[in-house]
Amino acid sequence: MAADYAAFVHVHGAQRQFQADYVLGSVGHPTRTWQPGETVKQTVQLALPNDIALGSYHIDVGVWDPVDHRHLLLRPWWHRAKTDLLFAVEASS
């Protein structure tokens, strides 16, 4: 890859919005050093605000370049959609 990418998580709800960004890869092994066919696993826990209310939230997850702020597309450039539903989460009491 030509860049060291980061991941973002944007959470949108009726009462609250917040986001988190994470550098992909580990220290000394960022995305620029990944090799074709290599499997890289990374787990990150999203810290929810203490005062978050129960309800429905929309979660956007994606990958972007922190240098030029461009997002990687999920589909080929000729497809109009810039996002896809990857998963849905619903919280209840």
Domains of the chain, by residue range, sit at 1-93
The answer for residues whose C-beta is within 8 angstroms of residue 48's C-beta and 6 or more apart is none
List, in sequence order, every residue forming a beta bridge with 82; answer none if it has no partner. none
Per-residue pLDDT tens listing for the chain (93 residues): 889 999 998 888 877 888 899 999 998 999 999 999 999 998 888 888 888 888 888 888 888 899 998 888 766 655 555 555 555 555 554
Q: What confidence score (pLDDT) does residue 84 get?
A: 57
